[in-house]
Structure 1
Amino acid sequence: MFNTMNITKVAGSVLGAFLFLLLAAWVSGSLYHIGGDAHGAEGAEHAMMTDKPGGLLDEGGAEEEAAAEEEVALVLGEGDAAKGEKVFGKCKACHKLDGSNATGPHLDGVVNRAVAGVEGFGYSDAMIAHGGEWTLERLDAYLASPKDDVPGNKMSFAGLKKAEDRNDVITYLQSLQ
């Protein structure tokens, strides 16, 4: 019957076969790469049909991009504050809303406040040089990607990629004015 040696042999055989399959997949993937130049590859640009008969989008899609920017600008600051409060949970680790600073400056009253305008907080040189005020548009751009908007700032947060989340957080912060 089965003793411990037989069980060990069976387990070793199964694990060995699994390891062999993983290695074979890795080697074949490196030999037979389906790269970015293939039709339909990720990131490849293709002409797309519009809702107009025979119409194609221009290469840059400038009309649609401009319309999307206008749409965001019209809706910016009119999101859902309740959803924004939930999304703000990601910010609570470093920012407070009670007027006291933490790792980051307090964010109560941030809308239309001067950039780097909280006294007593040690801002980076990049943030001080950024200057101006935290308008709705600037908050949106900064929250999308803090490192891209203000290169060299101290904030390690990657940003909020969804425009809806940014809009909701901005609406929430605006409601605290």
Structure 2
Amino acid sequence: MDSFEFNKIAGGVLATLMMTMLLGIFSGMVFGPHIPAKPGYELPSAPAQETATNAPEAPAEPLPVLLAKADPAKGQALAKACGACHNFEKGAGPKVGPPLYGVVGRKVASMDGFSYSDALKAKGGTWTMDEINKFITNPKADVAGTKMGFAGEQSPEKRADIIDYLHTLSDNPVPMPKP
């Protein structure tokens, strides 16, 4: 092969590489990615609480009154979301969270075989209906440092339904408070 043929082949290869590189630069300018000012995704958050400055806030119904109107069937349906982390069956072991069978009336952080957070161990006491109500309203506010990732249930009626359902999960249910 003479040098003229070699130069033609080398020139063709170099021209192809040069066109490929230029095509990549051109397509990068045309179809360039949008780089956000703040990296990551915006996660949904709780809606902002709008309070009326002139209107007085309606007094909240006490838990015994809400429990008198509560429906354990609705509570069972609402507690399906809790089933991702908790078991509800008698004798079932822990999942991500401890089993909830017999939780009403049980000592806080007392289930064998589950590693509770130090904050929940320090809380002490018993899971009364009032304590469960406070905890599921906002777990991180009630027990700062808890491992529980649940954001909380803001509706008092839904909390009462869930507590009424949890109340039924026991061999010896604790008596319901009188309204």
TM over 0.5: yes
CA contact (8 A) 1:77 1:174 kept: no
Find the aligned partners of 1:130 and 1:119 in 2 and give their Cα distance: 17
- The residue aligned with 1:82 is 73
TM-score, normalised to structure 2, is: 0.62
C-alpha RMSD over aligned residues: 1.5
After superposition, what is the alpha-carbon deviation per residue over 1:106-156, rounded to whole angstroms, capped at 9, x for unaligned? Answer: 000000100001011100000000100000111001011001000000000
Q: Distance in 1 between matches of 2:158 and 2:62?
A: 12
CA distance in 2, matches of 1:111, 1:76: 17
Relative distance call for 1:131 and 1:76 in structure 2 (3 A) is farther
**Secondary structure in 2 aligned to 1:92?**
helix
The alignment of Structure 1 onto Structure 2 pairs a total of residues equal to 118
Structure 1 stretches of 5 or more lacking a match?
1-41, 49-56
1:121 aligns with 114
Q: Calculate the TM-score normalised by the size of structure 1.
A: 0.62
Relative contact order higher in (CA < 8 Å, ≥ 6 apart):
2
Contact 2:135/2:143 (<8 A) preserved: yes
Query: Which consecutive unaligned segments of at least 5 residues does structure 2 have?
Result: 1-49, 171-179
What displacement does 1:44 show? Answer: 4.8
Between the aligned residues of both structures, percent identity stands at 44
Equivalent of 2:166 in 170, 173, 176:
173
Letter in 1 for 2:125: G
Asked whether the 8 Å contact 1:76–1:136 carries over to 2, the reply is no
Larger radius of gyration: 2
Aligned to 2:173: none
Q: Letter of the aligned partner of 2:88 in structure 1?
A: L
Alignment of 1:109-148 (within 5 A): 109-148=102-141
